[in-house]
A and B are shown apart, each in its own frame.
Chain A
Amino acid sequence: MALDFKHASLVEGVRFTAQVGVPNVVQGLFRKREVVVSSLGKLPGDHLAYRLVEGLEKKYGPDPFWVRVGGDEALLVTHPDDLKVVLGGSPSPFASDPDAKRKGMAAFQPDALTISRGDLWADRRAFAEAVLETGNPTHTLARGFAVQSVAAADGLMSLGRAATFDDVNKAFQRLTRIVVFGAEAADDASLTEQLGDLMSAGNKMPGKPADGYADFHARIKEYVDNPDPAALTGLIAGAPQSAGTDVPGQLIHWLFAMGDTLPANLMRALAVLATHSKVLGVARSEVAGKDLTDVETVAGSTYLAGCILEAMRLWPTTALFGRVQAEEVRWANGQKTPAGTQVLIHNLFNHRNRARVPYADRFSPEEWVSGDASDDWRFNFFSHGPQGCPGAGLSIFLGQAFLGRLIARGEPKLAAGPRLRPEQLPYAIDIYGVEIRL
């Protein structure tokens, strides 16, 4: 029996399903349902989920262990060594298209890179890396992007009232359209709305493209066919691609990640900056009096980058994600798990593991600047390994320019939202309840 991992009990499985699995579904896997998220945010749900997984890990870890989710047992992985095996071994043997994810994503991005396998995955990955310039210290088009980010920040500051998440999100969605498609698309808000509708359909995990997908795809294709040299579409012609790449299909994910996920993280980072005067002071000293349309200045504001990464760590927008084994795997100590095994990674627990992360519940941007946070495979908001987010660098850059401008020019104050204690930050911040005066 030792060459199998330990098994959590049936009761623990029921609790795991209820406290970890189900909330992820009811909040909306892809598009968060505002009413549900807000009401859950008032309950200590994430805290309970953390406590539950913490207890399970203490009892059955640090090796991976089996836990029931609904009717099936899945393997929960918590230790960085094992996360490295899983994420380092993605997409093969650990494919990133578990059934639920594939069925949901099929609604709005059926040909996405993250649910591709084999040669098609390699083909699409090469395309994404070429356009997003993964690994480049700064993107070729970075200067223009910084100018646009600063403009978006300025727009928010001129609202004349406290900014809500809706404001930030809208501003970022507009920025996203400019970055991806060019100025032409700046005010094409209906495209973003259409994506929102498709993502809502994805929450129901239909397993096939939702109604309207073909039209949505056609609209994106139009932008791709009329590239803007100042936007990412301008780089597509020079990127490797084949008949199977489905270029418009790849861009959907960028819209989704930049236009929804990133602003949520930035909103939380802002909330912390507005309530942590010391952190704000350090961040501000980094950018004060500097031109945030200058690429070197933006890229060099590493503490600010740390602030964004900390918001991502503390409040991961994806609390739980998974992999599925495409083949049998033998782990370091001989344990063998069969093809089809669902592997779960609970970011919420891993990022906050207070037994192993000394700064678990503190906002600690410095850990990303001079500590070893960036080498820690526990922190997977951008994932890690071959399937690590190819646009991570670009999105942090956009965030740095945007946030840098807001704190260099403005004085963020929390107008509404939770009280944040620096030493014990909560497991959830309901961004729909946050308002920030800039």
Chain B
Amino acid sequence: MVSIPNPLNLQWYEHPSLILQLAALSKARDDLREQNLYEQDGMRPDDPSGDPPPGVERARTADGTYNDLGCPMMGSKDSGFGRNVPIANTVIDRKRLLTPDPREISRRLMARDTFKPAGILNALGAAWLQFENHNWFFHGDGRADRVIEVPIREDDDFPEKPMRIRETIPMRGEIVDGQPAPVFGNAETHWWDGSQVYGSGAEKQGKIRTGVDGKVRVDDNGRLPASDIPGIDLTGMQENYWFGPGLLHTLFAREHNSVCDAIKKAHPELDDQRLFELGVLVVSALIAKIHTVEWTPCVLRHPALQIGMSANWYGALGEAFRDKIGRVGDSEALSGIIGSATDHHSAPFSLTEEFVSVYRMHPLIPDDWSFYSLASGEHLKDAYFTDIQGSYTRDFMHSLEMGDMWYSIGKASAGAVCLKNYPNALRNLTRVDGQVTDLATLDIVRDRERGVPRYNDFREALRMPRRKKIEDITPNKDWAREINEIYNGDVDAVDLQIGMQAEQPPKGFGFSDTAFRIFILMASRRLKSDRFFTTDFTPEIYTKTGYDWVNDNSMKDVLLRHYPELEPVIGDVERVFAPWHELGATEPGKKPVILRAADTVKSYLPF
């Protein structure tokens, strides 16, 4: 794309027209691809010698190997996280690991005072992000004997003093003060491969699969079976489970089985293994598509993003053009990433520590939940987040009809990603293994522990202007005052999480522009680096049935396929990740107020 001069050094969204904004975004992404992809030695095991095992050309492997046939270990399970900032900028400062006091930051800047709804995104959208994160990354469980102790003040009601947070264990070596961060491993595959549904690794997948017709385990009532972890479904990723991800894990397990049925119908000769492989390919691509063209434009309502995300998937020529004409040459800009040539840009593919950081969007989750009957609309019960998560999940989910839960989560608004909106249930969370944690404290400590730069350094690494003083970060004066108090006026000390949650996002955005820079780089990279979304997104690899399935379906289709009872509440909805209307609220030819509001770019943020 032609480079457009930018003498005023405007941010992309400050340009006066949509065309210029799109051009600036495109340039920003090119620069990010050029300058913000780094990796260290020892990221992944050496490539195996000899011929690749049979079948890896046509399918995703359980451990993520052989996606890149020339670098088989790239993106595989247990390989290391890369970085979006130069390695030299990841120096660990152990002396400041607990400075300023992360628990105080949690209590004063993050704790939810009142629930601030996002408005543009529903609670299903919140659950969706967690569902996706569980596909992408997990740093592992750590070790009980390797902990960071966070002091707890006398007047603090946190149940344990001190708070113990398990250290992140590097792939090799140790974290050394004053040295760049070592490489941490990802217990999940890095690829967008549906591993939250299927599990990472052959052993886990073996537990999920039925061994018949490619299908995964779903019980006779259409629910996921119990696992050996009390209260948690048998599914690919079982950490941080609650009913929202529970719904989505169930939905896509069922979708997988429907895909297998459809492909078997067209290809009765295929065996269990091939049907499973095809189900994985199709469902992962469908999840990636839904994320790219539905979830993202819903949470980023800026007009440029409405075009930009569709362009990622379909290309600038649009969906209708591509469906009718096919791809135009090999141009990513014209015809989208999907089906274009694979390209890792300036580093082999991996997810990054910075990517993990910007996706810490826990404020999306409400504390207080209300559940309604889909049949009658009547209020059934209320629940606090603590009681619908972890070991309580299955009992809770079995106390309600699936339709009632879908309706209730679709109707509820997600929380706004901003300060003072962190769910208090997560700030005092007893995990399934008995650990008591404040996730807000943990979010701050993790960034510091893993050498993720603080807010100003982070921005500079992305060529965004540093903030000279704390008041420049946020237009909210009360917040600026409190941040000043906590950080003693040192703008350079402000943690990344605090800066991002204090920042005023661009118009229509559900999260900060700072986070968005990583997002725009990594969102397209997850597609562009993946052979199965690029050169091998073809009817030959996916089968025609599978290929059409990805192209033809949307989240609404998936929901209605498995839960047709949702028709009265989503039948006329354009965005399923925006809050759904009340049962019976729709009049013929007239959209309900909440839908009309959801179609606008007005997002609630407390500025």
Interface residues of chain A, those whose CB is within 8 Å of chain B, are 1-3, 6, 61-63, 79, 81, 330, 332-334, 336, 356
Q: Report the nearest B residue to A335, measured CB to CB.
A: B561
Q: Is B262's CB under 8 angstroms from A63's CB? A: yes
Q: Which residues in chain B, 169-185, are within 8 Å of chain A measured between CB atoms?
A: none
Q: Is B266's CB under 8 angstroms from A3's CB? A: no
> Would A3 and B262 be within 8 Å (CB), given that A330-B564, A334-B562, A334-B564 are in contact?
no
> Would A2 and B553 be within 8 Å (CB), given that A330-B564, A333-B258, A334-B562 are in contact?
yes
Across the A-B interface, how many residue pairs have beta carbons closer than 8 Å? Answer: 32
Q: Which residues in chain B, 263-294, are within 8 Å of chain A measured between CB atoms?
A: 265-266, 268
Dominant secondary structure at the B interface: helix
Q: In the bound complex, how far is the Cα of B557 from the Cα of A107, in angstroms?
A: 45
Question: 20 A-B Cβ contacts within 8 A?
Answer: A2-B549, A2-B552, A2-B557, A3-B561, A6-B548, A61-B266, A62-B265, A62-B266, A63-B262, A63-B265, A332-B258, A332-B261, A333-B258, A333-B261, A333-B262, A333-B561, A334-B557, A334-B561, A334-B562, A334-B564
B560: A residues at CB distance < 8 A: 3, 334
Q: B133 at interface (Cβ–Cβ under 8 A)?
A: no
A356: B residues at CB distance < 8 A: 268
Min C-beta distance of B533 to chain A, whole Å: 19
Query: Counting chain A CB atoms within 10 Å of each CB, which of B554, B557, B562, B564 scores highest?
Result: B557
Min C-beta distance of A299 to chain B, whole Å: 34
Min C-beta distance of A58 to chain B, whole Å: 9
Min C-beta distance of B310 to chain A, whole Å: 15
Q: Mark B545-577, 1 if CB is under 8 A from A, else 0.
A: 000110011100100111010000000000000
Q: Report the nearest B residue to A1, measured CB to CB.
A: B552
A333: B residues at CB distance < 8 A: 258, 261-262, 561
Q: In the bound complex, how far is the Cα of B265 from the Cα of A300, in angstroms?
A: 36
A6: B residues at CB distance < 8 A: 548
Min C-beta distance of B286 to chain A, whole Å: 10
Q: Which residues in chain B, 514-555, are within 8 Å of chain A measured between CB atoms?
A: 548-549, 552-554
> Would A81 and B265 be within 8 Å (CB), given that A1-B552, A2-B553, A2-B554 are in contact?
yes
Q: In the bound complex, how far is the Cα of B376 from the Cα of A245, in angstroms?
A: 43
Query: Counting chain B CB atoms within 10 Å of each CB, which of A2, A81, A330 scores highest?
Result: A2
Q: Which residues in chain B, 247-266, are within 8 Å of chain A measured between CB atoms?
A: 258, 261-262, 265-266
Q: In the bound complex, how far is the Cα of B554 from the Cα of A157, in angstroms?
A: 67
Q: In the bound complex, how far is the Cα of B570 from the Cα of A334, in angstroms?
A: 14
A334: B residues at CB distance < 8 A: 557, 560-562, 564
Interface residues of chain B, those whose CB is within 8 Å of chain A, are 258, 261-262, 265-266, 268, 548-549, 552-554, 557, 560-562, 564
B548: A residues at CB distance < 8 A: 6
B562: A residues at CB distance < 8 A: 334
B552: A residues at CB distance < 8 A: 1-2
Q: Report the nearest A residue to B545, measured CB to CB.
A: A62
Min C-beta distance of B570 to chain A, whole Å: 12
B266: A residues at CB distance < 8 A: 61-62
Q: In the bound complex, how far is the Cα of B268 from the Cα of A61, in angstroms?
A: 14
Q: In the bound complex, how far is the Cα of B561 from the Cα of A131, in angstroms?
A: 44
Q: In the bound complex, how far is the Cα of B557 from the Cα of A81, in angstroms?
A: 21
Min C-beta distance of A227 to chain B, whole Å: 50
Q: Report the nearest B residue to A82, measured CB to CB.
A: B265
B561: A residues at CB distance < 8 A: 3, 333-334
Q: In the bound complex, how far is the Cα of B307 from the Cα of A246, in angstroms?
A: 66
Query: What 10 pairs across the A-B complex have the smallest Cβ distances?
Result: A334-B561, A2-B552, A2-B553, A2-B557, A62-B266, A62-B265, A3-B557, A334-B560, A333-B258, A330-B564
Query: Counting chain A CB atoms within 10 Å of each CB, which of B549, B552, B561 scores highest?
Result: B561
Min C-beta distance of B269 to chain A, whole Å: 10
Min C-beta distance of B202 to chain A, whole Å: 29
Q: In the bound complex, how far is the Cα of B564 from the Cα of A79, in angstroms?
A: 23
Q: In the bound complex, how far is the Cα of B261 from the Cα of A332, in angstroms?
A: 10
Q: In the bound complex, how far is the Cα of B555 from the Cα of A334, in angstroms?
A: 13
Min C-beta distance of B544 to chain A, whole Å: 9
Q: Report the nearest B residue to A58, measured CB to CB.
A: B544
A63: B residues at CB distance < 8 A: 262, 265
Min C-beta distance of B13 to chain A, whole Å: 32
Q: In the bound complex, how far is the Cα of B548 from the Cα of A1, in angstroms?
A: 11
Min C-beta distance of B12 to chain A, whole Å: 33
Q: Report the nearest B residue to A332, measured CB to CB.
A: B261
A336: B residues at CB distance < 8 A: 564
B553: A residues at CB distance < 8 A: 2
Q: In the bound complex, how far is the Cα of B562 from the Cα of A334, in angstroms?
A: 7
A79: B residues at CB distance < 8 A: 265
B265: A residues at CB distance < 8 A: 62-63, 79, 81
A332: B residues at CB distance < 8 A: 258, 261
Q: In the bound complex, how far is the Cα of B263 from the Cα of A62, in angstroms?
A: 9
- A sample of 16 more A-B contacts (CB under 8 A), given A79-B265, A81-B265, is A1-B552, A2-B549, A2-B553, A3-B557, A3-B560, A3-B561, A62-B265, A63-B262, A332-B261, A333-B261, A333-B561, A334-B557, A334-B561, A334-B562, A336-B564, A356-B268
Q: In the bound complex, how far is the Cα of B570 from the Cα of A3, in angstroms?
A: 14
Min C-beta distance of A200 to chain B, whole Å: 42
Q: In the bound complex, how far is the Cα of B264 from the Cα of A332, in angstroms?
A: 14
Min C-beta distance of A285 to chain B, whole Å: 35
B261: A residues at CB distance < 8 A: 332-333
Q: Report the nearest B residue to A330, measured CB to CB.
A: B564
Min C-beta distance of B200 to chain A, whole Å: 28
Q: Report the nearest A residue to B559, measured CB to CB.
A: A334
Q: Report the nearest A residue to B266, measured CB to CB.
A: A62
Q: In the bound complex, how far is the Cα of B564 from the Cα of A56, in angstroms?
A: 29
Min C-beta distance of A198 to chain B, whole Å: 42
Q: Report the nearest A residue to B563, measured CB to CB.
A: A334
Q: In the bound complex, how far is the Cα of B560 from the Cα of A330, in angstroms?
A: 10
B554: A residues at CB distance < 8 A: 2
B262: A residues at CB distance < 8 A: 63, 333
Min C-beta distance of A207 to chain B, whole Å: 34
Min C-beta distance of B458 to chain A, whole Å: 41
Q: In the bound complex, how far is the Cα of B520 from the Cα of A117, in angstroms?
A: 60
Min C-beta distance of A332 to chain B, whole Å: 7
Q: In the bound complex, how far is the Cα of B125 from the Cα of A61, in angstroms?
A: 34
Q: In the bound complex, how far is the Cα of B261 from the Cα of A81, in angstroms?
A: 11
Q: In the bound complex, how far is the Cα of B261 from the Cα of A387, in angstroms?
A: 27
Q: In the bound complex, how far is the Cα of B563 from the Cα of A330, in angstroms?
A: 12
Q: In the bound complex, how far is the Cα of B557 from the Cα of A330, in angstroms?
A: 13
Q: Report the nearest A residue to B556, measured CB to CB.
A: A3
Q: In the bound complex, how far is the Cα of B268 from the Cα of A356, in angstroms?
A: 9
Q: Report the nearest A residue to B259, measured CB to CB.
A: A333
Q: Report the nearest A residue to B550, measured CB to CB.
A: A2
Q: In the bound complex, how far is the Cα of B258 from the Cα of A330, in angstroms?
A: 15
Min C-beta distance of B435 to chain A, whole Å: 42
A81: B residues at CB distance < 8 A: 265
A61: B residues at CB distance < 8 A: 266
Query: Counting chain B CB atoms within 10 Å of each CB, which of A63, A333, A356 scores highest?
Result: A333
Min C-beta distance of A54 to chain B, whole Å: 14
Q: In the bound complex, how far is the Cα of B570 from the Cα of A327, in angstroms?
A: 22
Min C-beta distance of B568 to chain A, whole Å: 14
Q: In the bound complex, how far is the Cα of B560 from the Cα of A3, in angstroms?
A: 8
Q: In the bound complex, how far is the Cα of B263 from the Cα of A79, in angstroms?
A: 13
B564: A residues at CB distance < 8 A: 330, 334, 336
Q: Report the nearest A residue to B549, measured CB to CB.
A: A2
Q: In the bound complex, how far is the Cα of B548 from the Cα of A2, in angstroms?
A: 9
